[in-house]
Amino acid sequence: MLYQADIRVDGDRPWDIRVHNDEFYARALAGGTLALGESYLDGWWDCDALDEFFFRAARAGVGRQIRLNLRMIVSIVQSILFNLQTKVRAKQVGREHYDLGNDFFESMLGPYMQYSCAYFRATSDLEEAQKLKLDLIARKLGLKHGMRLLDIGCGWGGLAKFAAEQYGCSVVGITISREQKIYAETACRGLPVEIRLQDYRDISESFDRVVSVGMMEHVGYKNYRHYMETARRCLNADGLFLCHTIAGTESITLSDPWLAKYIFPNSMLPSAAQATKAAEGLFVLEDVHNFGADYDKTLMAWERNFRASWPLFSDHFGERFFRMWRYYLLSCAGSFRARGIQLFQFVFSNDGLLNGYTTVR
């Protein structure tokens, strides 16, 4: 399988792997992506360019050649029988991931604190590309002074702050992370911005615009319809809803097991079909924009920032975390580079704009 992907064992190219434990092969074949990642954390193998390793493996379809094992089957059955993203379970990703530390995320993400895909147009600078992404969202929504904006999954408040400062909007942002709420309230102090620690299912107010960036990945397939119903319920008759989400190329009901265990518990990627199916009968789809290739650049910039700032956090997190975090960022970068994962922005209206929607790029 590695040969098909032009990956050599103990080769001298950056994407070749060095195997330190011969039990690695049986472990990876038996346990799939979870075992592959855990064996890396355990130091059983190394690679100088993990992003290139995963790019080649993904393009060659290596993952599709791994057979289902008992653990995978149990996980699939659980995802069918149970709602893994209930209000109680949804808080887990806040505690275990987003509450790792605001200083940690700030060192990686930069001043806009955007933990989502940047928009690299006529720039290679992460900060500028994130600003372009924020302005792209504002222009797609047609934000104007005095509008009331709901930000579902507001993160550290970067978009709320931008909309208030640059477009004169009043904003309500909701998050399930206590650390994000603390940071966002400080960042937006003095602006017409309210940050709430609240589940999206509990909000029922009227807004001129609704936006959700990097949130649908945490909703779960059993709740996609409820998520869309919430946006519809909160949106004024002539409003617009923008949903910015990572998406897979196939409809699934289960997350990648390694990412679910170590990075984003209870999360999964929707497909474009699942997103639009959930909106069927609720919204008119006005615009779809895929700039998933930009996520490769975003992740590589985050990884460089993470590596540069690591001495500040090494004593607190330890070497195993260092390997885990780089594996997370670089494996995702390689997957986006291989175009196996996409980044969509959907723009929805309630009943269709009478004069049509002007596409913004």
- What is the domain extent for residue 115? 84-292+339-349
The conformation of residue 151, written as its DSSP 8-state character, comes to E
Residues 174, 264, single domain; the answer is yes
**Per-residue confidence (pLDDT) for residue 86, from 0 to 100:** 83
Domain boundary among 77, 95, 122: 77
Number of domains in the chain: 2
Tokens standing for 55? Answer: 């790019």
Contact present, 120 and 294 (Cβ < 8 Å): yes
Q: 30-59 b/e with 16+ CB inside 10 Å = b?
A: ebbbbbbbbbbeeebbebeebbbbbbbbbb
Residues 101 and 240 placed together within one structural domain of the fold: yes
Regarding whether 224 and 127 lie in a shared domain, the answer is: yes
Residues 135 and 231 in one domain: yes
Residue 332 is among the residues annotated as catalytic for this protein: yes
201 and 165 both lie in a single domain: yes
Which residues lie below 8 Å from residue 321, measured CB to CB, with a gap of 6+?
A: none
Q: Domain ends where: 56, 77, 98?
A: 77
Burial of 82 (0-12, 13-18, 19+ CB in 10 A): exposed
Q: Count of residues for the chain?
A: 361
Reported pTM = 0.95
333 is a domain residue? no
The answer to whether residue 221 is domain-embedded is yes
- The confidence score (pLDDT) of residue 151 equals 98
Looking at 33, 55, 77, which one is the last position of a domain? Answer: 77
Residue 306 in any domain: the answer is: no
Looking at the chain, the whole-number percentage of residues with pLDDT higher than 90 is 88
**Residues 241 and 107 occupy one common structural domain:** yes
| Measured distance CA(191)–CA(184) in Å, rounded | 11
- For residue range 255-313, what is the model confidence (pLDDT) as tens digits? 899 999 999 999 999 999 999 999 999 999 999 999 999 999 999 999 999 999 999 99
Residue of 154, 169, 243, 332 marked catalytic? 332
Q: Do residues 93 and 157 both lie within one domain?
A: yes
Are residues 120 and 252 located together in one domain of the fold? yes
- Mean pLDDT of all residues in the chain? 94
Do 65 and 126 belong together in one domain? no
In terms of domains, do 67 and 171 share one?
A: no
Q: What is the pLDDT of residues 183-222, one digit of tens each?
A: 999 999 999 999 999 999 999 999 999 999 999 999 999 9
- If you average pLDDT over residues 230-256, what whole number do you get? 95
pLDDT tops 80 at residue 83: no
The answer to the question of residue 150 being in a domain is: yes
Q: Where does the pLDDT of residue 1 fall: very low under 50, low under 70, confident under 90, or very high at 90 and above?
A: confident
Cα 116 to Cα 172: distance, rounded to the nearest angstrom: 19
**pLDDT band, residue 141 (cuts 50/70/90):** very high
Residues 6+ apart with CB under 8 A from 224: 216, 270, 274, 275, 277, 278
Query: Does residue 106 fall inside a structural domain?
Result: yes
For residue 195, report the phi and psi dihedrals to the nearest 5 degrees: -110, 130
Q: Is residue 358 part of a domain?
A: no
Regarding whether 152 and 47 lie in a shared domain, the answer is no
Would 166 be classed as within a structural domain? yes
Which tens digit of pLDDT belongs to each residue from 24-82? 999 998 899 999 999 999 999 999 999 999 999 999 988 776 665 656 555 655 666 56
99 and 36: one domain?
Answer: no
Chain-centre distance for alpha carbon 150:
19
What would the mean pLDDT of 102-122 be, rounded to a whole number?
97
